[in-house]
Amino acid sequence: MKRREKIIVEELKAGRFQLTLHARERMNERLVSEADIIYMAKNINFIRYQSDKDTYLLKGKSEWGDNLFVSAALRENVIVVTVYFEGDI
């Protein structure tokens, strides 16, 4: 894992992230909590840089065993852009 990826994962695990309005809306629609994001970061399967969006896509298991995806950007801190479960999009 690269340095920037490690920073993102560690910040998410610690609950040190901000949510965009879009992320909050999707979390409400998909019944995802901030605790779910933290749990996913602790149970991460992969992280991949998306150069076209300048974001990182993370995939991990939710507390319920579902694959949870989080799109996050690293700026001054970690910003969660959106969240979704496998099959949502």
Report pLDDT digits (tens) over 31-60. Answer: 999 999 999 999 999 999 999 999 999 999
Name the pLDDT band for 89 (thresholds 50, 70, 90).
low
pLDDT of residue 76: 86
The residue-averaged pLDDT of 52-72 equals 94
Report pLDDT digits (tens) over 10-31. Answer: 999 999 999 999 999 999 999 9
Percent of the chain with pLDDT strictly greater than 70: 99
CA distance to 38, 51, 52, per residue, from 43 (Å): 9, 24, 26
What CA–CA distance (Å, rounded) separates 82 from 27? Answer: 8
Name the pTM for this structure.
Answer: 0.91
Q: Is the pLDDT of residue 88 over 80?
A: no
